[in-house]
Amino acid sequence: MKQIQQGDVLIRQLDAMPVGGKTIAHKRCVLAEGEATGHAHVIEDDEAELVRVGDKIILSLKNAGTVFHEEHKPVALEAGIWEIDRVREYDYFSKMVSSVRD
């Protein structure tokens, strides 16, 4: 499984599209928005589709594409199915898991 990180966004390649999804964006897909800056992790392609399957966000790319963010280096993705998640950190003292925010 291929895995790519851009800031606080984790992108994992899947073998197939999970069933039961609902399209939430196409062409201009915002993978994650910044909490403080208003910046966003975005991919734009006429064939790109962002789908919600349960509590997961899935990106479907028929063509290779690039994820852009104002504060990070662009990240190239090959065509395929990608799960979008946030990087998490574990605090061993409090024994709590929290999402990393950039």
**Segment 10-22, tens digit of pLDDT:** 999 999 999 999 9
Reported pTM: 0.82
Strand partners, 25: 50
pLDDT value of residue 99 = 61
Contact between 89 and 98 under an 8 Å Cβ cutoff? The reply is yes
